[in-house]
Amino acid sequence: MTAEPVTTPQPSTPAQAPPTVRASLSPSRAADFKTCPLLYRFRSIDRLPERTTMEQARGTLVHAVLERLFDLPAQGRTPAAAGDLVAPQWDRLVTEQPELAGVFDGAEPADPVEFLRSAAGLLEGYFAVEDPTRLEPAERESLISAVVDDELLIRGYLDRLDVAPDGALRVVDYKTGGAPREAFEARALFQLKFYALVLWRTRGVVPRVLRLLYLRDAEVLDYTPDADELVRFERTVVALWRAIEQATARQDFRPRPSKLCDWCSHQALCPTFGGTPPPFPVAAASADPLRDSRSVPVVPGADE
């Protein structure tokens, strides 16, 4: 798919939202609440810090390289060129986000050289499933947003949007984790449907393809939504937000144990594991409802 760049302006801050809007929701936080209401509370209301894992840092780096790869002329987008971007992009990321350097300070010391080598290996997986010399993305790492139900601003950051000459849209999301497992695949598709809904509401076009690229295993998962499905999905998103509002008013966010608990950073505070959540923040009820916990975008790869 090739196209001229899309320049449709999108709201970049809640202040630009229509006056009727009183709440904001990102796909990551919506998925948190679906997965476990208490996890949503820890991240969005308590705003507890979470240490960046090696996998998340690697995902951030790979996303950065793939974004910069398309700055090169088409014929220059080779595996070697992508490999040459790894080290300088890591240096840039650590300069901009110094906390990323902390991934090497864990209980089991990591080798920075091996870390960069592993990122380059994931890029090999990318070239196994796509030929970037034949692509001219319309948008990369772009913020998109739409208002649903007159009151809720939904927004998120696309890894990549391709637009065909006939106007067809393809939403592409890079996943640096392993082959899709049922729980993670459902979460990933939820995220892409979120983007599809925003694009449909703002541009009047239902994306033809929602594409997940699993780089570690060089696998592609394509999904084709339709308008009826997006109408149902919009109802789901609005219902989720109303449930979040009710839980906030009642200060009642209960844990929902699952296999995903193995990756949770907050087990010590979770009743499922014998912990006790901190007191509910007094300021939560009066906080700016347009500011969800993504006051800045989640680093790419952080939700994998």
126-182 pLDDT tens trace: 999 999 999 999 999 999 999 999 999 999 999 999 999 999 999 999 999 765 566
210 backbone dihedrals φ, ψ, rounded to 5°: -110, 115
What beta strand segments (E) does 149-236 contain?
Answer: 152-163, 169-175, 209-214, 219-223
Rg (CA), the chain: 20
First to last CA, the chain: 26
236 backbone dihedrals φ, ψ, rounded to 5°: -65, -45
The mean per-residue pLDDT over the stretch 228-242 comes to: 96
pTM of the model: 0.85
Res. 284 pLDDT band, cuts 50 70 90:
low
Measured CA to CA, the distance from residue 49 to residue 43 in angstroms comes to 8
